[in-house]
Structure 1
Amino acid sequence: MLKQQNLGLQLLAGVIFYTTIPLPYIDGLDFRRVARLAPVVGLVIGGMVGLLDTGLMYLGMPVLTRSAVVVGVWIAITGGLHLDGAMDTADGLAVGNPERRLEVMADSATGAFGAMAAIAVLLFKTSALTDITDYRWLVLMAACGWGRWGQQLAIWRYPYLKPTGKGALHKQAIASYLDLLPGLLLMLAVSGLLWWLNGHNWMMPVVMMIGGCAIASLTGTWFNHKLGGHTGDTYGAVVEWTEALFLCVLTIF
């Protein structure tokens, strides 16, 4: 039975677990339920980089440089946690023998395919942000939130391939589809906020809702198809690829 703690302490534990934000140490924090608040932590991260982006815009920094700085700080805030997972996953998927994939993913050394995956993710994010001009702060929050809701969905829906590890801890926290609903409703509300901000224009909010939910679902499904389940690394890959593809889709509209 997971220990209960109030929502504020759960959020604090989630921020400490998923980010490098310096926070004071509090004795007795329970990290076993942090996955339940992953989308909220995503909104915190997105809000921080969105605030940075807005500040740099008022300072007159060109959009391409600003986007690159935002993506760099974005990585720094997460400590590269999810990007590292995306890199390890790419190295594992490059192995022809399925039985060796988990072994390769567990290796701390980064291979060529991992490096290429990281370059692709960073290029997608930077170039997409360069093409997005309006409400960038909200788009960044939505991208971070949907990425982490996709992680929640993968945790609940697919088997975990290792007996131990951080991912196994998450599997205990997301035990029912009911654990997905708060994050889903929150992300629908965040995406729908653009309807109110943008003069009740419905197109972009609907794209953000449908696109975010679809991409978050399909990335987890694809990794499950390739590996027969998930690990902590693939959870990180789901976050990174959902964020990157979500931003790319928004540039179309």
Structure 2
Amino acid sequence: MRDDHRSTVIDQLRDWIDDLRLATALLTRVPMPHPGGARPEGLARAQRAFPLVGAVIGLAVGLADRAMLGMGIPPLCSAALALGAGAALTGALHEDGLADLGDGFGGGRDRAAKLEIMRDSRLGTYGAVVLLVSFAARWSALASLPIAAVVPSLVVAHVLARAAIPVLAANMPFARDDGLGKSAGRPELATAVTAVVIAAAIALLCLPAKAALLVVVVTAAAALAVAMLAWRQIGGVTGDVFGAAEQVAETAILVALAARFS
């Protein structure tokens, strides 16, 4: 009996390691060997590890910002450079989704046109505007945070924002039959719940209870707003919608924390 239990624990640990490796490969530019679970079901299950990868990204961005502040670089400059470093680490994956969504929803006349525009890699006026607004909001919010709140705020923002992705993927229909969002698969509800629990636990570890509750509510509201917009515009979600939801939630969290701590 003990051997069976030990074997089960080892198998579960291996599954988590595979999920972390795959989630890291999906969400960052960090080179990772393709784990054995890189099948549709493996891709879907790996979404439970999105908050953990988000925590590492947020920690890296926060430490970069703190290091530059420690060198005497002004807060506005260090915040901009830290956000740029974060975009380099992730390959601007979610920023690209936000820009595509802005161009598609802003410039398309109907569902088919919106989806076609979202496939176009070129940046249009609507995409540029939403990127500018998102970056400016995060930049100013980060620069206004007390230095002690920089790292925990960034960790929580990246954790909660990425937990929104499996929730949307598990509950929303896909707007097209191909693309990155569809290829990642539909996670089980248990996967989405696991991601949310991990994200909420990290938020509670990093922030005072009231602040943690605030940003959980803000994340839910931001993700719901993007989901409702996507439903009305294209009838479901795509990889670009996931990226946009992450960016909207991340921005909303940092603004909320800046308002609370400043």
Deviations 1:109-133 (A, max 9, x none): 2111111111111111101111111
Code of the aligned partner of 1:18: L
Which of 171, 181, 202 is matched with 1:157 structurally? Answer: 171
Cα RMSD (Å): 2.0
Number of residue equivalences: 242
Deviates more, 1:208-217 or 1:68-77: 208-217
Code of the aligned partner of 2:130: A
Which of 119, 122, 125 is matched with 1:112 structurally? Answer: 125
Code of the aligned partner of 2:152: L
Runs of 4+ in 1 over 3 A off after TM superposition: 25-29
1:29 is displaced (CA, Å) by 5.4
Percent identical pairs in the alignment equals 26
Q: Which runs of 5+ in 1 are unaligned?
A: 196-200
Which of 212, 236, 242 is matched with 2:219 structurally? Answer: 212
Does 2:38 correspond to 1:30?
A: yes
Q: Distance in 1 between matches of 2:48 and 2:202?
A: 17
Give me the TM-score of the superposition, normalised by structure 2: 0.85
Match of 2:53 in 1: 41
Contact 2:47-2:192 at 8 Å conserved across structures? no
Instruction: Trace 1:190-209 onto structure 2 (pairs within 5 A).
Output: 190-195=202-207, 202-209=209-216
Q: Distance in 2 between matches of 1:22 and 1:61?
A: 31
Contact 1:83-1:236 at 8 Å conserved across structures? yes
SS of residue matched to 2:122? coil
1:149 is displaced (CA, Å) by 1.2
Q: Distance in 2 between matches of 1:35 and 1:96?
A: 33
Q: Which runs of 5+ in 2 are unaligned?
A: 1-11
Does 2:145 correspond to 1:138?
A: no
Q: Distance in 1 between matches of 2:230 and 2:162?
A: 15
Q: Distance in 2 between matches of 1:27 and 1:154?
A: 25
Does 2:136 correspond to 1:123?
A: yes
1:26 is displaced (CA, Å) by 5.2
Contact 1:153-1:217 at 8 Å conserved across structures? no
Q: Distance in 2 between matches of 1:145 and 1:202?
A: 16
Greater fraction helix: 2
Match of 2:115 in 1: 102
1:49 is displaced (CA, Å) by 0.9
Contact 1:150-1:216 at 8 Å conserved across structures? yes
Code of the aligned partner of 1:170: A
Contact 1:125-1:248 at 8 Å conserved across structures? yes
Give me the TM-score of the superposition, normalised by structure 1: 0.88
Contact 1:215-1:246 at 8 Å conserved across structures? no
Code of the aligned partner of 1:160: F
1:203 is displaced (CA, Å) by 3.1
Q: Distance in 1 between matches of 2:131 and 2:204?
A: 31
Contact 1:39-1:146 at 8 Å conserved across structures? yes
Deviations 1:142-181 (A, max 9, x none): 1111111111111111110111222113333x132x2212
